[in-house]
Amino acid sequence: MKFSNKNTKIWSKFYQKLTQKRKKANIYYSKGKIFASASGVNCEYYLRYLFDGTEKKSDFYWWGHEAQIGNAIHDEIQSDFRHSYKDKVKIETYQAFKIGDITINAKIDLIKDDRVIEFKTVKDEEGREPREKDYMQLQFYMGVTGLNSGTLSYFKRSNGVHINSFDVQFDEKVFRDIVEKFERVLENKELREDKSECQYCDFKYCCPKFGG
């Protein structure tokens, strides 16, 4: 799949504008829907807090800044596809997947020719290889849509330039492993931790594994 990098200068200016505006915040609080990005999380303590509706807290003020850039780049890419392919693509398809008492909300960036396409904005040095959490998320999307083909496409967060794309085939075992992970957490079975995810965790303030 080919992408145009015609908007490099536009995104560079946009990035600079946001960088100038950003301010250091103390802590932000959020609580809302459970999104399919949870499928790429390995730490089941995180998932337990997420499913319980525990309030998220983070002192990383640049989270909101990066989200704005990522959303803007997503919007531009989707706009290009909408203009080029019109009714031949489905943009931002929503799919709900029920597990027990919770609903996992999948917001799929793009579906074209029976292929699930997921866009990711990353640091300039990333995107040379597919990240595990992105691969898991794409597998979950294919599982809930019943589609067998997918693509992970990476773009530089600094300027919107396309880095690389990876075609992925649906793996039933990977999808089942994700669902079983969710079920294990919901059934309050022995949870598995992943300390590699602690640093930027929104729940470390209350997690006993982190001293909360």
* Structural domains in the chain (count): 1
Identity (one letter) of the amino acid at 162?
H
Domain that holds residue 151: 8-182
Q: pLDDT by residue for the chain (212 residues), tens digit each?
A: 555 555 444 445 555 544 444 443 333 334 446 888 888 888 999 999 999 888 887 665 445 566 777 778 888 888 888 888 878 889 988 888 988 888 998 989 999 999 999 999 888 888 889 999 999 999 999 999 999 999 999 998 888 888 999 999 999 999 999 999 999 998 887 888 888 888 878 888 888 887 65
Residue 208 in domain: no
Residue 211 in domain: no
- The CATH number covering residue 178 comes to 3.90.320.10
Give CA separation, 16 vs 20, 21, 62, 90, 209, in Å.
Answer: 6, 9, 14, 31, 38
Residue 188 in domain: no
Residue 102 has a pLDDT of 87
What's the token pair of residue 177? 């492993």
Residue 189 in domain: no
Residue 1 has a pLDDT of 54
Residue 202 in domain: no
> Whole-angstrom Cα distance, residue 211 to residue 193?
14
Residue 122 in domain: yes
Q: Exposed e or buried b for every residue in 151-162, given b needs 16+ CB within 10 A?
A: bbbbbbbbbbbb
pTM: 0.81
Residue 26 in domain: yes
Residue 212 has a pLDDT of 58
From 198, 208, 1, 11, select the one nearest 119 (Cα to Cα). 1
